[in-house]
Amino acid sequence: MDASVASPGYLSISGVGKTFGSGASQTEALGEIDLAVRGGEFLAIVGPSGCGKSTLLQIAAGLALPTRGLVQFNGQTVTAPPSGIVYLFQQYGKSLFPWRTVLDNVAFAVEHRPGMSRAAARDASRAYLDMVGLADFAGHYPAQLSGGMQQRVTIARALAAQPRVLLMDEPFSSVDALTRLELHAIVQDLWQKHGFTAVLVTHDADEAVFLADRIAVLSARPSRVVRVLETGLPRPRDRLETPELPRYLALRHELLAMLLGKGA
């Protein structure tokens, strides 16, 4: 096993397996996953379609239970969604409240916080909207926004919850190419400024190499971690210059080779 996988972590996934169904209809989605997420890092998880990437992330978030193995967050076993971990869904349209304004959608993350008045919650929410460039759209409703803008709202709401760990399930896959690049820049900037731990599930090799410090590569189902790649790319990363670096190109080649079954 790769030493970087076996070492203790801030978010630790140990021997996690997941089986769906029973008898002849039984499907083993996750074989045995061992992965240690370091505090403050940006980790990407990639693998072939249907290998259980999203299932693994849901288990890490406490939204699903493993069939075997365990997840620990800061030394505590995760059996339900723990305080400090925030999950950013792929389907941004379904995660926003259509009857709430953009401002009130973000405020939902803080308005029930002890000692937080409604006015304070709205002030804090405006600040988070400003971080994602949507301060002028606070009074709009989700249906009045583009897909990329809606995803910015979900990012602002996730940040308003003040996560220690932000888990992202392919959050950029449903937007157009240029919007995806804009969201990459926003998430990278916010991660660097706020210092949370980020875990991104993605099927996009370029996205993984550009954003992550490390990339965990899963095998086909029943999946296991087959490699953990250290990117070693300088930060901040630039969308024009970083992809031209020899290290970037070599990582992208190696990662694509593994995903296409042409590498170790």
- Give me the long-range contacts of 171-177 (CB less than 8 A, separation at least 24): 171/88, 171/89, 171/90, 171/92, 171/200, 172/202, 172/204, 172/207, 173/90, 173/202, 173/203, 173/204, 174/90, 174/91, 174/92, 174/147, 175/147, 175/148, 175/151, 176/147, 176/148
Q: In what order do the strands lie in the sheet with 76-77?
A: 27-37, 11-20, 68-73, 76-77
Q: What is the pLDDT of residues 84-138, one digit of tens each?
A: 999 998 777 778 999 999 999 999 988 877 777 888 888 889 999 999 999 999 9
Give, to the nearest 10 degrees, the angle between helix 177-194 and helix 147-160. 10
Instruction: Give the tokens for residue 206.
Output: 């370029």
255: helix, coil or strand? Answer: helix
Residues of the chain under the 50 pLDDT cut: 1-8
**Amino acid present at 144:** Q
Confirm if 209 and 255 have CB atoms less than 8 A apart.
yes
| pTM metric for this prediction | 0.90
- Per-residue pLDDT tens digits for 63-99: 999 999 999 998 899 999 998 999 998 777 778 999 9
